[in-house]
Structure 1
């Protein structure tokens, strides 16, 4: 299955990036505000654990979400920046506390490597057409695409200057833009697209000009 191959590539890329890091490097900051590399590793491991549960949780079709609409399940409310900032800080703090349970950062990498490998194996063996996760029903290929998307973006959070990301992450962003008649500016590279689409980089004035009315959709991944 193409989506399982994409998940394996995304997870293997994260593992390869983490394996040579020293314990002190695992405590370095990332693009996720308030999180160290170790904190992001813990978050990714939780996502791989969710994958294992979802792949073992068959559901009746049809799907209630696709790999595109999964990221925009409800309309965005009018922004309350103070409340949003408090919620983001609380989420970041909870992630840090959960990751700190490990005796040392390297154990988190070992847990990630084992769990992600199991999730990939389950992805290739997945027998169900539809699965349930986080209150939604997705087709199995769409679930795997969302997992690969998140892994690739967090890979960019961990380290800069990474190789080109797998296509599923870009396909998700393209799908979100297409829902509203938008297209990716042709001069954007894969890394810029992922960082801007996920809100890691702010749009510049030329970006907003190139996107036109689609600029209001960013960040694409909620």
Structure 2
């Protein structure tokens, strides 16, 4: 599958789920500290950054990849409180959280189309790094897939596409530098590997010393 097509699937899944949410549902909690509308706004910022990045070629070879990119975003490296406050303030300034949904719908669709058109041999620049385009697309898929699980923690929705969860597993394996317990589904791994669900005693026993590496990303 073209990596841009996978991003389209993930973004379309979020769009289909959020399209008809009412204001009460948009104010519901998620697996994060944000409400649904706030987390959707956070994803909107990522889709906007994607559009900028597709049009920002790097003039040197990649300096990071789909796995090492996340080392900058390990929970141990900072708590992200400033961004959390910014997102809350920005969403509060909207006349209605439904406007966030409308902006997400438009921006996510545009980012998906741009992902399909971008040459796969491009090297792009974002957030102080240079990535081959397929690796950059992977970072977007991982972010959106994990947040899709966050969004539907309290407001149920359709499951995430299996191919997207498989990509999350691939990246988490790279960060873990090992293998998750064989009994973990891809969804379990996405939630436990990012700290959304706590590890059980059995999990820790199966992971051994690798348990100290979790959570692998925030």
Q: Shift of the alpha carbon at 1:37?
A: 0.3
Backbone CA RMSD of aligned residues: 2.0
Partner of 1:97: 89
Partner of 2:8: 8
Q: Shift of the alpha carbon at 1:17?
A: 1.2
Cα distance in 1 for partners of 2:186, 2:31 equals 17
Q: Shift of the alpha carbon at 1:73?
A: 3.8
Whether the 8 Å CA contact 1:6–1:168 is kept in 2: the answer is no
Cα distance in 2 for partners of 1:98, 1:66 equals 31
Q: How many residues align?
A: 211
Q: Deviations over 1:5-38 (max 9, x none)?
A: 11011101111111121111101011112x1100
Greater CA drift, 55-64 or 117-126? 55-64
1:157 aligns with 2:150: yes
Cα distance in 1 for partners of 2:72, 2:99 equals 35
Matches within 5 A, 1:60-209: 60-73=59-72, 87-127=79-119, 129-160=122-153, 162-165=158-161, 166=164, 167-177=166-176, 180=177, 182-209=178-205
Cα distance in 2 for partners of 1:20, 1:189 equals 29
Cα distance in 2 for partners of 1:76, 1:64 equals 22
Q: Shift of the alpha carbon at 1:101?
A: 2.1
Q: Shift of the alpha carbon at 1:76?
A: 8.2
Q: Deviations over 1:112-156 (max 9, x none)?
A: 010001001111111361000000000000000100110011101
Greater CA drift, 56-65 or 66-75? 66-75
- Normalising by structure 2, report the TM-score: 0.90
Q: Shift of the alpha carbon at 1:41?
A: 0.8
- Normalising by structure 1, report the TM-score: 0.88
Q: Shift of the alpha carbon at 1:164?
A: 4.4
Whether the 8 Å CA contact 2:65–2:132 is kept in 1: the answer is yes
Q: Shift of the alpha carbon at 1:159?
A: 0.5
Q: Deviations over 1:133-189 (max 9, x none)?
A: 000000000000100110011101110364244222222112212xx3x10211111
Cα distance in 2 for partners of 1:192, 1:108 equals 29
Whether the 8 Å CA contact 2:66–2:171 is kept in 1: the answer is yes
Matches within 5 A, 1:30-41: 30-33=30-33, 35-41=34-40
